[in-house]
Amino acid sequence: MLDVASEARGRSEADREARAANRPILIKGRNRNAVLMSVGYRRSILGTLHLPAIPGMKESIKQGLRAPIGKCKKGIPWRHMLAAFCALILVLFEGVVMAEEETKRMELTDWVMSGSVFEPVSRTTERLPLSDQQNRGTWVPYPAMTDEFAGGVLDPMKWIPRNPGWKGRQPGYFWTGNVAVKDGFLELTARKQEVPEMPKSEGYHTWTTAAVQSQGVVKYGYFEIRARPMKSAASSGFWFYKNDKDYWTEIDVFEICGAPGVSEADVAQPSVAPGVADPSFPWAAGVTNPDFPRIFNMNIHVFHTPKDRTHRDRHAEWRAPFGYPDGFHVYGLEWDKKELKWFVDGVLVREVENREWHQPLTLNFDSETMPGWMGLPRDSDLPSTFSIDYVRAWIKEGDK
């Protein structure tokens, strides 16, 4: 144990030394160490802690970090350098914390079925989802988004034959003339054509596609369609989304490419041998992935929230032992407060923890051109039609 008088003398001498040297003094003890500093230094450090809260200060510090060392001012007092260093550490620490929080937000529990073993579920009743024929989920029908498409026209009380907030993914233009109800099916068709209302100044040309959106929105439920995707590189899509001022989220049940497409350069330069005009395409003969017709693309997006304007998404795919455009299959999404589940023919193929998809969304069917991913549709594959036999929706008894 230190003698009290000696300890007091040591502190007094260290304090005088600190004042004389105008810098903090490290005091080493038997069990622990301490730093002695003047009141002025303490005030400087406390003030530094508030620097990042000053408007523009963080940006100024970051700008300073980019300045060449040769242009930095010489002879800066030590205490000013200490304050600047502490402020820099605070800014960097804040960035690390934000990055960690961002990572945690997207580190969701995400399971996707693997392997080729696939046994479709047998249906015993049309009144319930194919994946839950015993009604363990206590499902009740949700008529607002249920349609057997038995009439000859699209029900205007339930559906809009376009996307009111989007004209399509360029160059394909959503044209209402490509939406029809025929022989008990909702049909969305892609064609190689141009129409007078196509806004070419906005990048739309050569192709028309189609979109259908629900009149209302929904939050949580089970949504099932029986459908056959089109056999072309124009996509067939079944998805949910809503773009509001505060929230913009999206759930893609599927985006299916029913046939390999061609690169945009090959379309622009047909005289060039396929694949030569656009070397960025890794597949042979200038076409996109020949396995596309078997790939079930699923995705979830968060485009913005009141606290975060950064777009984030989680894509997954499942490869089927069959080609989707070769026949009709049943596709389902189960969406509740805790989980998102994707089904093909009643079989669970993906399950994701639901942390952020709690916004009421519209239900959408569409076909898009995706030149940078699926390629553009080949002339020989058009016109091509995405056929939907029915869409059925249920909500849980407790969510009514």
What is the domain partition of the chain in residue ranges?
Answer: 4-103, 113-399
Query: Which amino acid is residue 301, in one-letter code?
Result: H
pLDDT at position 18 is 47
Element (H, E) at 25: strand 25-28
Ramachandran assignment for 225, one of left (phi > 0), alpha (psi -120 to 50 degrees), beta (any other): beta
Distance, in Å, from the CA atom of 361 to the CA atom of 10, rounded to the nearest integer, reads: 70
pLDDT at position 80 is 58
pLDDT at position 277 is 36
Element (H, E) at 317: strand 312-319
Strands 347-353 and 339-344: antiparallel
- Sign for the pseudo-dihedral over CA of 100, 106, 107, 108: positive
Class of 113-399 in CATH: mainly beta
pLDDT at position 372 is 86
Q: Can you give the pLDDT of all 400 residues of the chain as single tens digits?
A: 444 444 444 445 555 554 555 566 777 666 567 767 666 666 666 555 555 555 566 566 666 656 665 666 666 565 556 556 655 665 555 554 444 454 455 567 899 998 767 899 999 999 999 999 999 999 999 999 999 999 899 999 999 999 999 999 999 999 999 999 999 999 999 999 999 999 999 999 999 999 999 999 999 999 999 999 999 999 999 999 999 999 999 999 999 999 998 876 555 543 333 333 334 444 434 456 889 999 999 999 999 999 999 999 999 999 999 999 999 999 999 999 999 999 999 999 999 999 999 999 999 999 999 998 999 999 999 999 999 999 999 999 877 6
